[in-house]
């Protein structure tokens, strides 16, 4: 079966595919970006897609009553887990993967994670199909208040922050979640910073300093995203050829 389409679920205009979309396209797959907040339908299943990426957003992972597409997105995640369809959840997408598969998300009791943070790779990542080649010294953008607190059964943590918060998880053989934002550049984050300026200042966070840090780390961040997307595309093609 020939299928090179990756389903991308975008939750809001301020959280686009960004670098991950560019790199997946460069790696030879086609993006099918669905924007349900604008009225785009979601597919009933993943039979016409070789992989799925669920992007981030500012909503709560449990806000199914407010955002009609969250429940069907969780169902697609469950179908991906059953089918073995490679799936990458980013920030909110990571949290949706956790909730869909039986985990729990809550406000981070240690407060928001904002800025360029080190990725704390654990030994389990060294043998992971997606992340094994990406486990050297690395930094990543984080911009979140909620975190995954309880993992679904059989999930494996691949990275934690230096405060022990979960950063990267393998939820199943082909389902991964990252609390980080590999897809963003300083321009995208600058919009978030403007929106969060007052709340961040009240918490003692300088959002302009965070944006400047992201801009300074651009080369490293872009390279990490490209490597992640390239490997994810390879895994998507591997699954397609075995159907």
Q: How far apart are CA 71 and CA 178, in angstroms?
A: 20
- Using a 10 angstrom Cβ sphere, with 0-12 exposed, 13-18 middle and 19 or more buried, the burial of residue 84 is middle
- Tens of pLDDT, residue by residue over 14-55, are 999 999 999 999 999 999 999 999 999 999 999 999 999 999
Q: Band of the pLDDT at 240, cuts 50, 70, 90?
A: very low
Q: How far apart are CA 70 and CA 63, in angstroms?
A: 7
Q: Band of the pLDDT at 239, cuts 50, 70, 90?
A: low
Of all residues in the chain, what percent carry a pLDDT higher than 70?
95
- Tens of pLDDT, residue by residue over 169-202, are 999 999 999 999 999 998 998 888 888 787 777 7
According to the model, what pLDDT value does residue 22 have?
98
According to the model, what pLDDT value does residue 242 have?
41
Instruction: Tell whether the torsion through CA atoms of 221, 226, 167 and 46 is positive or negative.
Output: positive
Q: How far apart are CA 193 and CA 109, in angstroms?
A: 21
Q: How far apart are CA 167 and CA 178, in angstroms?
A: 6
Is 102 a residue whose pLDDT tops 70?
yes
Q: Is 29 left (phi over 0), alpha (psi -120 to 50) or beta?
A: beta
Express the helix, strand and coil content of the chain in percent, nearest 5 each: 40, 25, 40
According to the model, what pLDDT value does residue 209 have?
84
Is 74 a residue whose pLDDT tops 60?
yes
As annotated, the active-site residues are: 91, 181, 183
- For the chain, domains (ranges, CATH) are 5-113+120-134+143-184+225-241 (3.40.50.880)
* Overall average pLDDT of the 202-231 stretch: 89
Q: How far apart are CA 120 and CA 144, in angstroms?
A: 17
- Tens of pLDDT, residue by residue over 138-172, are 999 999 999 999 999 999 999 999 999 999 999 99
**pTM: predicted TM-score of the whole model, two decimal places:** 0.94
The residue behind tokens 């928001």 is 112
């Amino acid at each position: 079966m020939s299928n090179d389409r990756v389903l991308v679920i975008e939750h809001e205009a301020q959280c686009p595919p960004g670098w991950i979309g560019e790199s997946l396209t460069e790696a030879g797959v086609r993006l099918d970006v669905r924007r349900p907040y604008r009225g785009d339908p979601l597919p009933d299943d993943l039979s016409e897609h070789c992989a799925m990426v669920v992007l981030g957003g500012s909503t709560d992972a449990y806000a199914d009553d407010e955002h009609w597409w969250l429940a069907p997105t969780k169902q697609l995640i469950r179908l991906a887990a059953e089918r073995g369809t490679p799936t990458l959840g980013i920030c909110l997408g990571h949290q949706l993967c956790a909730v869909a598969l039986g985990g729990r998300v809550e406000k981070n009791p240690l407060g928001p994670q904002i800025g360029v943070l080190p990725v704390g790779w654990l030994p389990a990542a060294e043998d992971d199909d997606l992340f094994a080649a990406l486990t050297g010294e690395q930094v990543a953008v984080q911009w979140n208040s909620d975190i995954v607190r309880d993992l679904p059964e059989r999930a494996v943590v691949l990275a934690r922050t230096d405060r022990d918060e979960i950063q990267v998880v393998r939820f199943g053989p082909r389902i991964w979640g990252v609390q980080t934002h590999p897809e963003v550049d300083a321009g995208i984050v600058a919009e978030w910073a403007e929106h969060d300026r007052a709340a961040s200042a009240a918490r003692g966070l300088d959002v302009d300093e965070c944006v400047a840090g992201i801009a300074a780390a651009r080369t490293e961040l872009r390279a990490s995203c490209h490597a992640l997307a390239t490997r994810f595309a390879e895994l998507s093609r591997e699954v397609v050829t075995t159907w």
